[in-house]
Amino acid sequence: MSQPLIALLDIGKTNAKLCVIDPQSGAEIRGSRRANAVIQGPVTRELDVHAIGEWLLEALRTAPHRERIRVIVPVAHGAAAVLLDRDNRVIAAPDYEDPCFEQVNATYRAQRDSYESSCSPDLPLGLNLGRQLFFLQDAQPELFSRAAHVLLYPQYWAWRLSGVMVSEVTSLGCHSDLWLPREASFSKLARHRGWSDLFPPLRLANDVLGPISPAIAAATGLDAQCQVTCGIHDSNASYLKFLIARDREEPFTVISSGTWTVVMSNRADLSRLREDRDMLASVDAFGSPVATARFMGGREYETIAGSDTRPNLPALLNVIERQAMALPAFASGGPFAGCQGRLLNAENLSGSERASVATLYVGLTSELLIEMLGAEGDVLIDGPLATNELFGSVLAACLPNQSVWLSPGDGGNTRAACYLAGFPDAPTQHMSAAAPLAAKSLAAYRDAWRRAISR
């Protein structure tokens, strides 16, 4: 009998990916990828769920060994939900970067739960999912009155595949203002505004919702008994794959990277969280709060680097000696939200030197977040940053009392997908230790950067 395969659907803010995984070896057989875009909807800028849906059908139809795919695991970014009417038609899929949500800031802030109870910071744009719902309900009451269901983004794709509507706690607990992590219940705001009634019942991330719908089977050629799991928030998938491989009482820190760089610290004290620094309590797949800090590291790196040129050691050392540096911030959110990013001593830099400045910026900001969380134990880097060895080296040099480890490849949440699909014994990927950067001048560079950001 042919060995079963898993399809991992990963809808990030910047890209959507589908990869086929062999749970016996842990290998990714192939990946299909597309760049995401936002479109102008009738009320807000929106996630182009129609285009992603068309791509998904084609990606599944052309997937290698599709007849062996037995489980599909949806993963998607946070601060996103899709509103459906009573006929299950999409009426809104707001893009959290639309500035329109800030029109309701004053009235929204007066009604949201306190930070002390929600551990969800007051964020710009629509980065609080509650602000998106508040805007639609107040500014577009006729449209909002048609909403019969609110599906969190991973569970929207699970529904598209299976026809079953559920909710899941990792997305609810992602700086949404909708969840109280200590009480494991909907926030007062969500209950008072009637939103909690629009969310389907909660299920666990690894719950099997059922087989793909007949329409999906016909459109893709997948086996009609292919199962769909509930799904999970993307950064929590990165965290999960390390959590299931370690003692849950052991302190460790995960840096999940992509558009966002999210630092999640197991066993860190929630009392250290600060709202003005974009620190929050995430909620893991088992419902436990996790001390978290983050910034839009991928977006900021791209802005600073300005090209796809990779950094290299000579360029990095030259940048350090020259004291060329980036000061925050170059995107929304993060500990320096509201600050205007700028470059110092960065005239006439080569492409590799610009990339080195970006690497140092993301590395030093990541170290700062680890310090703010009081994070202890190993630091585990996942996602695209794990392929930038100089990032790992900079971080290792700045954290001499902690070991820094790099995941193989660019992540992909393969181990988490196997666990969620019911293959808990799938092989664990071996990580490599990051060697600390051998540059005495890095300490002086770091100190100068810290002084500059303090001003």
CA distance 437 to 363: 12
What is the predicted pLDDT for the residue at 11?
Answer: 97
Confidence of residue 428 (pLDDT cuts 50, 70, 90): confident
DSSP string of 214-282, one letter each residue: HHHHHHH---TT-EEE--EEHHHHHHHHHHTTS-TTS-EEEEE-SSSEEEEEET--GGG--GGGTEEEE
Question: What pLDDT, in 10s, does the model give residues 116-128?
Answer: 999 999 999 999 9
Find out whether 420 and 73 touch, Cβ atoms under 8 Å.
yes
CA distance 438 to 451: 22
Partnered with residue 92 across adjacent β-strands are 83
DSSP string of 189-217, one letter each residue: HHHHTTGGGGSPPB--TT-EEEEPPHHHH
Q: Which two tokens stand for residue 438?
A: 């051998």
Question: What pLDDT, in 10s, does the model give residues 303-325?
Answer: 999 999 999 999 999 999 999 99
As a whole number, mean pLDDT of residues 218-247 equals 96
Is there a cis peptide before residue 329, judged by omega within 30 degrees of 0? yes
What is the predicted pLDDT for the residue at 247?
Answer: 86
Find out whether 238 and 382 touch, Cβ atoms under 8 Å.
yes
Find out whether 211 and 227 touch, Cβ atoms under 8 Å.
yes
As a whole number, mean pLDDT of residues 145-173 equals 98
As a whole number, mean pLDDT of residues 287-301 equals 97
Q: Which two tokens stand for residue 342?
A: 């700028």
As a whole number, mean pLDDT of residues 256-273 equals 95
Confidence of residue 426 (pLDDT cuts 50, 70, 90): confident
CA distance 53 to 160: 8
As a whole number, mean pLDDT of residues 205-222 equals 98
Find out whether 384 and 355 touch, Cβ atoms under 8 Å.
no
- Rounded to an integer, what is the distance from CA 423 to the centroid of its chain? 23
What is the predicted pLDDT for the residue at 26?
Answer: 87
Confidence of residue 29 (pLDDT cuts 50, 70, 90): confident
As a whole number, mean pLDDT of residues 284-291 equals 97
DSSP string of 20-41, one letter each residue: EEETTTTEEEEEEEEE--EEE-
Task: Write down the mean pLDDT value for the chain.
Answer: 96
Cα–Cα separations (whole angstroms), residue 18 to 32, 53, 56, 180, 216: 5, 12, 8, 32, 16
What is the predicted pLDDT for the residue at 338?
Answer: 85
Question: What pLDDT, in 10s, does the model give residues 347-403?
Answer: 999 999 999 999 999 999 999 999 999 999 999 999 999 999 999 999 999 999 999
- Taking each helix axis as running N to C, give the angle between helix 389-398 and helix 441-454, from 0 to 180 degrees, rounded to the nearest 10: 80
Sheet of 149-152, strand order: 90-92, 81-84, 149-152
CATH 3.30.420.40-classified regions of the chain: 5-230, 235-454
Find out whether 77 and 153 touch, Cβ atoms under 8 Å.
yes
Q: Is the pLDDT of residue 411 over 60?
A: no
What is the predicted pLDDT for the residue at 2?
Answer: 80
> 3-state DSSP call for residue 431?
coil
Cα–Cα separations (whole angstroms), residue 112 to 44, 119, 122, 175: 22, 12, 9, 12
CA distance 157 to 82: 10
Residue range 5-230, CATH number: 3.30.420.40
Q: What percentage of the chain reaches a pLDDT higher than 70? A: 99
Question: What pLDDT, in 10s, does the model give residues 60-106?
Answer: 999 999 999 999 999 999 999 999 999 999 999 999 999 999 999 99
DSSP string of 371-429, one letter each residue: HHHT--SEEEEESGGGG-HHHHHHHHHH-TTS-EEE-STT---HHHHHHHTT-TTPPPP
As a whole number, mean pLDDT of residues 395-419 equals 89
CA distance 177 to 351: 41
As a whole number, mean pLDDT of residues 278-288 equals 96
CATH architecture designation of domain 235-454: 2-Layer Sandwich (3.30)
- Taking each helix axis as running N to C, give the angle between helix 351-373 and helix 441-454, from 0 to 180 degrees, rounded to the nearest 10: 70
Partnered with residue 406 across adjacent β-strands are 381, 432
Q: What percentage of the chain reaches a pLDDT higher than 90? A: 92
Partnered with residue 402 across adjacent β-strands are none
Question: What pLDDT, in 10s, does the model give residues 44-53?
Answer: 999 999 999 9
- Give me the torsion for CA of 333, 271, 399, 175, rounded to 10°: -30
What is the predicted pLDDT for the residue at 382?
Answer: 94
As a whole number, mean pLDDT of residues 278-303 equals 97
Any idea which residue has 């705001």 for tokens? Answer: 189
What is the predicted pLDDT for the residue at 412?
Answer: 60
